[in-house]
Structure 1
């Protein structure tokens, strides 16, 4: 069992590095407290890898990838709209209530991870190693890897303005949703590349224009206004 824990932990930790799960975790950490995000990630990891172990060790089944990908795409598009509306209402508000945020994190992670390479690796490990050890090791490996992403998100949160982080989070959710929709659900890889690249370019251009407008407003607010001429000057 100890061997299964260590092997699964190492495999899942390495597989998660640079994976979309880390990006999703970082996106959530831009908006919510780190312990709320980590709690949601931990619950999602237990559910996903518990299902992986059940599939690999007890059932030997495969999951329908496209319906799951379509559901995940819809979920991320809804998260993008939700995050954007929060930012429009008040850029300083951080929705950190666990009863609202944790279910959103858990649902998005479970949908995003179903059929992902990390889950497939866990299924393969569970077919050859102790199922409980694989479950524990894979869960710990995912939490550790996503903890790195949370640390990166917290660092960004300290150095970047809240309005920018709102916009970045909503754009990232939009990109996740569009990629899952066109690539995983519809099987149109080149369309997914074109759409997500276009959205990314538009987001960068809009961000630059808004930053310039904000700087112009700031300069106008700090520059002294010319005073009216004094009566002595009239004479």
Structure 2
């Protein structure tokens, strides 16, 4: 009983070291969690070897092993092509067509059809007194050899980009699938023309899928930037509308001096940001050199409160080259006579503001907390 288990384990372990299944396990481990790959291996092998042990030699008399190997080769090529399929971000619950465990199980089940390990399990079962221990031994042997590949794959997968993993996975499956087909397709069909035609078709499919995969990945990488830009655009639009109302206009102000005016300068950099995407600027402006006028301080406080609330909600950085921070500085100069340095902590910010002008600091604080609790 135990002897049969150990014998089955050692035979499979020796046969599978460095074999395709170990490499496939390594490939899967770069994509899925270790636990999922191991469970998939166990499920696939138990089903495959279980069938072999239950049927014994009967399966070889019903279905030619050559045909089984050919079907397995075709399935491997299909798996290789499907490995380049890109899952969209908006899939329901972000689920794939098959769970990782089922995907691995199917691959191992198909990969072992007619393979030496299945034949070994089948042969051992015909002379075993306890076939169940043959199944346990062969399964443990497969898990042990696959474990090496899974360990290596899980470590490699942490350092390789997802696109590279998918491409490698695709190539591995297609390579072993093609080898199976080469060894099982009747020799009459194996000639230079057919091989070139096969490689050409596979290459066209692979290249087209790779291009699509890479393009989709580029779009997905840009999406956070697009979202951030959209937020910035909306933020600057809200500020623009508020600052437009702050501007005194030529009726009260006389001839417009444009960006030489503090509000004029502020509106100018917002316009540049919104129209050209220039959300960061290293240009230094001496605030003291800009002309200050009798602005409506309540409107200035409203604009400043919008910036502070957005800063709290969206976590904008404190980079002084960030256009919104430049606007913030301008508004602080109008209200408090200078730029407030404590920007990273809202409580310290208001404490510093109150030292400069308690009345406006209290009004600003009220506006900010009212907006935050809406």
Q: Does the pair score TM above 0.5?
A: yes
1:73-92 matches, cutoff 5 A: 73-86=73-86
Distance, in Å, in 1 between the alignment partners of 2:32 and 2:21 is: 16
SS state of the match for residue 31, structure 2? coil
Q: Post-superposition shift, 1:66?
A: 3.0
Distance, in Å, in 1 between the alignment partners of 2:64 and 2:100 is: 27
1:1-235 matches, cutoff 5 A: 1-56=1-56, 60-62=58-60, 63-86=63-86, 99-129=98-128, 130-187=130-187
Change (3 A) 1:34 1:182: same
TM-score normalized with structure 1 length:
0.70
CA contact (8 A) 1:80 1:171 kept: yes
CA contact (8 A) 2:69 2:115 kept: no
Change (3 A) 1:42 1:105: same
- Structure 2: segments with no counterpart, 5+ residues: 208-374
RMSD between superposed Cα atoms in Å: 3.0
TM-score normalized with structure 2 length:
0.45
Distance, in Å, in 2 between the alignment partners of 1:123 and 1:42 is: 17
Q: Post-superposition shift, 1:181?
A: 2.2
Q: Post-superposition shift, 1:22?
A: 1.0
Change (3 A) 1:111 1:36: same
Distance, in Å, in 2 between the alignment partners of 1:71 and 1:105 is: 18
Higher helix share: 1
How many residue pairs get aligned? The number is 191
Distance, in Å, in 1 between the alignment partners of 2:140 and 2:65 is: 25
With a CA cutoff of 8 Å and minimum separation of 6, indicate the structure with the bigger relative contact order. 1
Q: Post-superposition shift, 1:158?
A: 2.2
Q: Post-superposition shift, 1:98?
A: 9.4
Change (3 A) 1:19 1:189: farther
